[in-house]
Amino acid sequence: MMQQLTMKPGNSLQGTVQVPGDKSISHRSVMFGAIAQGTTRVKGFLPGADCLATIACFRNMGVSITQESPTSLTIEGAGWEGLHEPNQLLDVGNSGTTIRLMLGILAGRSFYSAVAGDESIARRPMDRVLHPLREMGAQVDGRQGGRFTPLGIRGGGLQGIRYQSPVASAQIKSCLLLAGLQAKGETVVEEPYRSRDHSERMLRAFGAEVNSFSGGVSVRGGQQLSGREVRVPGDISSAAFPMIAALLVPGSQVTLQDVGVNPTRTGILDVLKAMGATIEVKETGEWCGEPVGDITISTSTLFGTEIGGELIPRLIDEIPIIAVAATQAKGKTIIRDAAELKVKETNRIAVTAGELTKLGARIEETEDGMVIEGGTPLTGGICDSRGDHRIGMATAIAGLIAKGGVTVHNADAINVSFPGFSELMSRLGKVHS
């Protein structure tokens, strides 16, 4: 069903809430649990559409996965050999992480599988992982010369490689680590900037030896993983929406509890602090190798900033909502080195600029980012998620400061990563019509 969501200016936002589990870590808990020996129990799993697609794919390969509650899973892993040839299409839905990481696993399995997803997935580049996987020995074909879904893959007989990735991408790195664990010899992945390192941390927690060095990471082939308990921290990429809402709605103060604060993901905190935000982070522990903390944020006067270079992979998914904050800052915000945004769920440079411009924002698109004029009052209106969860949430949050509010069409896309988004926002303040 194509839902609509309306958010409009109301009173201040107050309270302490928990956002749903981290999407990246939830995917990995299912995949690593499926290829490990023994039982993996997951708490705090994100029951969003993307991660449910990962569960369905691994069930199709014969793995027993029980969902005791929306956020609790038990996965009975039987090692690499426990995966069986699926007799149906592996449908990844809207999830780039599912397809790219799973391809690394399938590349080492000698059976045949067919993999596809929705229309957004059909437009997203798969050659970035297929090219190195072919170099390792996997046989893969697909549309347009083997670059796009639907894909057919028959794996096995992999040889380790040294691969210099042209982009800082955790999906590429993780895919090659998963293939590398099944390959002969060593696999080395180098990247221009450090991307999120959840795979490295979780693989180590599952007993694998993974070597991180400045500029990359390597694994030896022939390693087995052991199942374990995983507690998934809250997703900082989801926390970014109530955080920026609290920054912008006058008189607000909000605490997000148990959020993952892995330094490869906290670019959003660095940027908001640089813009003048009052943010306090209290680290409370480490879950399965991932640092966790409580984030308290209150309404602040913001200033424009420049965002580029190594910061980009540390906040790539937060750029649509950062753009909303930047419309209200004093001065210009310049985002560069972010061409990767063009190959996300949508072209997020064009779509962020296009949707926010409908509300009166002044945003210039550039080749690798955007320039946002601050101090721009937003007017209400109608936006469309275009099937992109983060665009849906960013435009809804814009409604909290837009005269007359914003109605978001195709708001059901939000369930991809943040089920319960509008309910959580309502708990913090009166934001709905």
Does the protein bind ligand S3P through residue 352 (CB under 6 A)?
Answer: no
Nearest 10 degrees: Cα torsion 140, 141, 147, 149: -100
Q: Are 72 and 42 in contact (CB under 8 A)?
A: yes
Which is nearest to 198 in space by CA: 214, 174, 168?
Answer: 174
Binds ligand S3P by CB under 6 A, chosen from 26, 54, 120, 171? 171
CA angle (198 as vertex; 197, 204 as ends), nearest 5: 95
In whole angstroms, give the CA distance from residue 9 to residue 258: 28
Among 32-40, 129-137, 164-172, 260-268, which window interacts with ligand S3P (CB under 6 A)? 164-172
Binds ligand S3P by CB under 6 A, chosen from 26, 54, 94, 97? 97
* Choice between 111 and 193, CB closer to ligand S3P: 193
Judged on CB neighbours under 10 Å (0-12, 13-18, 19+), 219 is buried
* Choice between 132 and 399, CB closer to ligand S3P: 132
Q: Are 306 and 270 in contact (CB under 8 A)?
A: no
Exposure string for 292-311, b = 16+ CB within 10 A, e = fewer: bbbbbbbbbebbbbebeeeb
* Choice between 294 and 388, CB closer to ligand S3P: 388
Residue ranges of the annotated binding site for phosphoenolpyruvate are: 23, 96, 124, 171, 348, 390
Residue ranges of the annotated binding site for 3-phosphoshikimate are: 23-24, 28, 169, 171, 317, 344
Binds ligand S3P by CB under 6 A, chosen from 169, 238, 328, 395? 169
Q: By CB under 6 A, what part of segment 105-144 binds ligand S3P?
A: none
| 392 Cβ contact partners less than 8 Å away, ≥ 6 residues apart | 5, 385, 408, 410, 411, 413, 414
Residue ranges of the annotated binding site are: 23-24, 28, 96, 124, 169, 171, 317, 344, 348, 390
* Choice between 400 and 416, CB closer to ligand S3P: 416
Q: If you count them, how many residues does the chain have?
A: 433
Binds ligand S3P by CB under 6 A, chosen from 17, 20, 21, 24? 24
In whole angstroms, give the CA distance from residue 159 to residue 186: 8
Among 51-59, 74-82, 168-176, 178-186, which window interacts with ligand S3P (CB under 6 A)? 168-176
Binds ligand S3P by CB under 6 A, chosen from 29, 98, 149, 174? 174
In whole angstroms, give the CA distance from residue 141 to residue 352: 33
317 in active site: yes
Instruction: Output the smallest distance, CB 220 to ligand S3P, in A.
Output: 22
Instruction: Output the smallest distance, CB 24 to ligand S3P, in A.
Output: 3
Size of the site for ligand S3P (CB under 6 A): 10
Q: By CB under 6 A, what part of segment 184-223 binds ligand S3P?
A: 196
Strand partners of residue 363: 372
Does the protein bind ligand S3P through residue 333 (CB under 6 A)?
Answer: no
Residues 263-282, mask of contacts with ligand S3P (x by CB under 6 A): --------------------
Quick one: DSSP state of residue 165?
A: -
Which member of 317, 337, 368, 388 is catalytic? 317
Output the furthest CA–CA distance in the chain (Å, rounded): 61
* Choice between 316 and 414, CB closer to ligand S3P: 316
* Choice between 19 and 431, CB closer to ligand S3P: 19
User: How is residue 89 written in tokens?
Assistant: 């299409």
Q: Are 21 and 433 in contact (CB under 8 A)?
A: no
In whole angstroms, give the CA distance from residue 352 to residue 391: 7
* Choice between 98 and 328, CB closer to ligand S3P: 98
Among 170-178, 182-190, 271-279, 293-301, which window interacts with ligand S3P (CB under 6 A)? 170-178
Q: In this structure, are strands 253-260 and 229-231 parallel, antiparallel, or unpaired?
A: unpaired
User: How is residue 328 written in tokens?
Assistant: 């209200």
Instruction: Output the smallest distance, CB 300 to ligand S3P, in A.
Output: 27
Which is nearest to 222 in space by CA: 189, 185, 188?
Answer: 185
Does the protein bind ligand S3P through residue 54 (CB under 6 A)?
Answer: no
User: How is residue 24 written in tokens?
Assistant: 């990246």
CA atoms within 13 A on the CB side of 210: 25
Tell me which residues touch ligand S3P (CB under 6 A): 24, 97, 169-171, 174, 196, 316-317, 340
Residues marked as catalytic? 317
